[in-house]
Amino acid sequence: MKFPRRRNWLSAVVLIAALAAGLAAVSRLRQAATTIPAPDESAVELTITHDGTTYKVIHGAVYKAGFDPARLEFVETLYDPDFYGKNYAMVDGVPNRKDPETGTLYPTRRHLEEGFESADGLTDLIGPQRGWTTLTLQSPKAPSVAEYVALRKRIMSGQGGFLDNRVEIEKALVHSGERSLRCFSVAPSPGMICAKASLSNELLHFAKGDDVWFSAWFYVAADGSKPLALADLESTWIKEYPGMRIMLDPAGCLMVELKWADKPSYRQLPGKEIVFPAGRWTNVRMHLMLSEKTDGQVELWQDGVSIIRANGRTLPLASAIYDELEIGITAHASAPGAASLYVDDVVISADAIR
């Protein structure tokens, strides 16, 4: 099941604050707001300062510092602190994810390879055997969460087809073997943050201190626009599904971003950027060492050439579990036209990929 994707929590906080500014009711709301005594710093998971206001994440919730330094004001809940015990069970030393409706246990994975061979359609891909769990087709014809979830159900049950965006098996253009994955997305309409045409696996399990290796071959069609993002590694247990994503900057060069709060980004060295090509297969390989602190590691290669090597935050919070890999057009934003992206030979692993 996919959960609603909303704007970044810090952006939402800032927007709400801006709308409330200058209203006479603000002082009354502050007096009635839920507050807690400021805890010892050892209990704080994250501290972010934005436009002079300090926000703290404590036991799964966001609080902000106000006029009284001894108290913090509740803003919103980010995640359930008990999410792990409620949703995972250890079986023979392997974390298993619980189906929320049936209680069925599914072993999580730290290694996945997918070349899309022997699959003739999405129903051959999505299921516990291969590990893919859902697809997302957010577009002008299905812009809201309710609309694209309903569309997905119709497609998977055979009761309907694609509207504008598509995710499908491709046989004519492949990197190896006989099949690849084709993702097609029209541009988002005004008012939409982005459009999507992607495939996801929510049975992964990577945590703080882990190494994550990712490799895939991508082909961006030369007769269209380039998508904004190609792959996301996310935590579905935290609001907004934060995580690391491989994306293209405005100049069309690969970069990596932690999609979370102040969005730390990792870019190619100025003056040495290599543009991501269109019209041919290109290999993208990434290595992460996961940490919510600045000692995390990010490495990125394009066709075997090292283009990014940096230290920094790679995990939103120390307790976060990266359980989802999303591939394809995971975001299509400012480009004016449609984008076609082909994906093949996907690998994600705790072991090094060379």
Q: Which CATH number do you get for residue 294?
A: 2.60.120.200
User: Is 69 found in the same domain as 196?
Assistant: no
User: Is 65 found in the same domain as 210?
Assistant: no
Do residues 317 and 61 lie in contact, with contact meaning Cβ atoms separated by under 8 Å?
Answer: no
**Number of compact structural domains in the chain:** 2
User: Is 219 found in the same domain as 127?
Assistant: yes
Please check whether residue 90 lies inside any domain of the structure: no
The pTM score is 0.89
Q: Which residues pair with 98 in a beta bridge?
A: 105
Please check whether residue 84 lies inside any domain of the structure: no
Last residue of one domain, picked from the residues 77, 96, 123: 77
Q: Using the CB atoms, write b or e for 185-199: b if 16+ within 10 Å.
A: bbbbeeebebbbbbb
Please check whether residue 3 lies inside any domain of the structure: no
Last residue of one domain, picked from the residues 31, 59, 77: 77
User: Is 230 found in the same domain as 179?
Assistant: yes
| pLDDT one digit per residue (tens) for the chain, 354 residues | 333 343 333 333 333 333 233 333 433 444 446 999 999 999 999 998 888 899 999 999 999 998 898 999 999 999 999 999 999 999 999 999 999 889 999 999 999 999 999 999 999 999 888 989 999 999 999 999 999 999 999 999 999 999 999 999 999 999 999 999 999 999 999 889 999 999 999 999 999 999 999 999 999 999 989 999 999 999 999 999 999 999 999 999 999 999 998 899 999 999 999 999 999 999 999 999 999 999 999 999 999 999 999 999 999 999 999 999 999 999 999 778 999 999 999 999 999 998
User: Is 269 found in the same domain as 170?
Assistant: yes
User: Is 285 found in the same domain as 202?
Assistant: yes
Please check whether residue 141 lies inside any domain of the structure: yes
Task: Give the model's pLDDT for residue 2.
Answer: 35
Task: Give the model's pLDDT for residue 29.
Answer: 41
User: Is 345 found in the same domain as 216?
Assistant: yes
User: Is 225 found in the same domain as 292?
Assistant: yes
Please check whether residue 54 lies inside any domain of the structure: yes
Please check whether residue 294 lies inside any domain of the structure: yes
Domain that holds residue 35: 9-77
Please check whether residue 96 lies inside any domain of the structure: no
Task: Give the model's pLDDT for residue 33.
Answer: 63
User: Is 252 found in the same domain as 334?
Assistant: yes
Task: Give the model's pLDDT for residue 51.
Answer: 87
Dihedral sign of CA atoms 25, 31, 36, 37 in order? positive
User: Is 147 found in the same domain as 277?
Assistant: yes
Q: Residue 53 — left, alpha, or beta (φ > 0 → left; ψ -120 to 50 → alpha)? A: beta
Closest CA to 200 of 213, 186, 181: 181
User: Is 270 found in the same domain as 209?
Assistant: yes
Please check whether residue 21 lies inside any domain of the structure: yes
Task: Give the model's pLDDT for residue 341.
Answer: 98
User: Is 330 found in the same domain as 268?
Assistant: yes
Task: Give the model's pLDDT for residue 144.
Answer: 94
